[in-house]
Chains A and B, each alone.
Chain A
């Protein structure tokens, strides 16, 4: 029962790689967007907010199909990227990372935005009176004080990326060794006669990873409270 087969290991490691890359690439963007939403008023702010949250409410298959249309080999962006940068998403693990990144983006932005909103603006003003330029204020005051929110967002986004299924399978299909992540491997196993035991093994692996991520996220938010009180 606990003998994880090489194919299953491949799916687990690929899942971890996809989720890690998706989270690391999405985080700087999520910090930028979270800061914009928390600290700036601009035309189209509500629209930006809505677009970011769309993947949460759209059927994942719709998001996956839109990705295929845009980033597929014949898609407007996909064709350009393939020709000019040699970057191909369709049916590659990079495409799985892109799908996971977009699907987990709202979960990443939300805690970051909230934690930036919670940073006392008077501390930012104080930093300016001490000679800190706006980018220095951001790096030395805003970001450190919001750091626990950033980490909590990263953990949530990572867990979401790990479990992503609908958009990924629509966009990059289910190719063992290339795009078959834990969830699509489970899906394939369930449809195979005698695949139950293997499916259950992967189910337990996902439960362990997801639980660890939630525990870590909780720990980071506790740290956030302590930090803001200067202890």
Chain B
């Protein structure tokens, strides 16, 4: 269960968001500039809220009344960015293994096999990120986050930098991830169709505020845009 109740002033813009979700995939839906990315940066611990509480499965990650702020690297919250952000000096194998090494987790060949098969990245192991296509990069970034064994996975428009055709290639992987990986996800997108395919619960974000929360029925109809 993820509980978020925070406010944060960013220049002229204020985020005031409150929701609680125990869905497998919580969608944050809204136009660009609505504050979706800032909101998941707060959940990840990259931004500190001015006021409020964030908790995950009963553990408090942020609480401004007690001054609690768990450091990013201690949160065990995976984050997949729009631009994959693979480490350029490491090959795919080392990128994938990075989180396990940093968290000093034991090697888990079963998990490794499941994740690399799920994402179809077994053949890329010895390549450098510079030699990967956009879709491959994004799949490796997903695998890297999963293999760090997070308890929550944040995805910030992971398809945003891909063209339509590539999006269609990656979407099935995300659906499989939702159904097989067993890790709750927060999925940010401004694409209603994408959201409908993936999300189990949706928060509509407009100008920094949650204006609706519920199942995918809160999404605007097919021809309306965000």
Complex interface residues of chain B between 71 and 89 (CB less than 8 A to chain A): 71-79, 81, 85-89
Interface stretch, picked from B16-24, B127-135, B176-184, is B127-135
Residue of B73, B85, B89 touching A144 (CB-CB under 8 A): B89
Nearest-neighbour CB distance to chain B for A220, whole angstroms, equals 14
A123 at the interface (CB under 8 A from B): yes
- A129:B78 contact, CB within 8 angstroms: yes
Q: Interface stretch among A6-14, A25-33, A200-208, A223-231?
A: A223-231
- A122, CB-defined interface residue at 8 Å: yes
Option from A123, A132, A133, A228 in Cβ contact (under 8 Å) with B85: A123
Closest approach, in angstroms, between the C-beta of B68 and any C-beta of chain A?
Answer: 18
Which of B74, B86, B102 counts the most A-chain CB atoms under 10 A from its CB? B102
Q: Which residue of B lies closest to A126 (CB)?
A: B85
Q: A128 contacts which chain B residues (CB < 8 A)?
A: 46, 71-73
Whether A141 and B76, one on each chain, are in contact in the complex, defined by CB atoms closer than 8 angstroms, is: no
- The answer to whether A129 and B77 have CB atoms under 8 Å apart is yes
Q: Using CB atoms, name the residue of chain A closest to B75.
A: A129
A227 to B85: give the CA distance in the assembly, Å.
14
Interface residues on B, range: 20 to 34
> In A104-143, which residues have CB < 8 Å from any B CB?
122-123, 125-134, 136-137, 140-141
Complex contacts, B89 vs chain A, CB 8 Å: 144-145, 227, 230
Would you mind naming 16 contact pairs between A and B with Cβ atoms under 8 Å apart? A125-B46, A128-B46, A129-B73, A129-B75, A129-B79, A129-B145, A130-B102, A130-B103, A130-B145, A131-B73, A140-B98, A141-B87, A145-B88, A145-B89, A228-B88, A231-B128
Given known contacts A227-B88, A230-B89, A126 and B73 CB-to-CB distance under 8 angstroms: no
Q: Does B44 contact A (CB under 8 A)?
A: yes
Q: How many residues of A contact B (CB 8 A)?
A: 23
Which B residues are within 8 Å of any A CB, using their own CB?
44, 46, 71-79, 81, 85-89, 98-99, 102-103, 128-131, 144-145, 148
CB distance from A99 to the nearest CB of B (A): 36
A230 touches B129 (CB 8 A): yes
Whether the pair A230, B76 counts as a contact (CB closer than 8 A) is no
Contacts of B71 in A (CB 8 A): 128, 133
Q: Which of A130, A134, A144, A145 has a CB less than 8 Å from the CB of B78?
A: A130
A127 to B3, CA, bound (A): 25
Q: Which of B78, B81, B103 contacts A122 (CB 8 A)?
A: B81
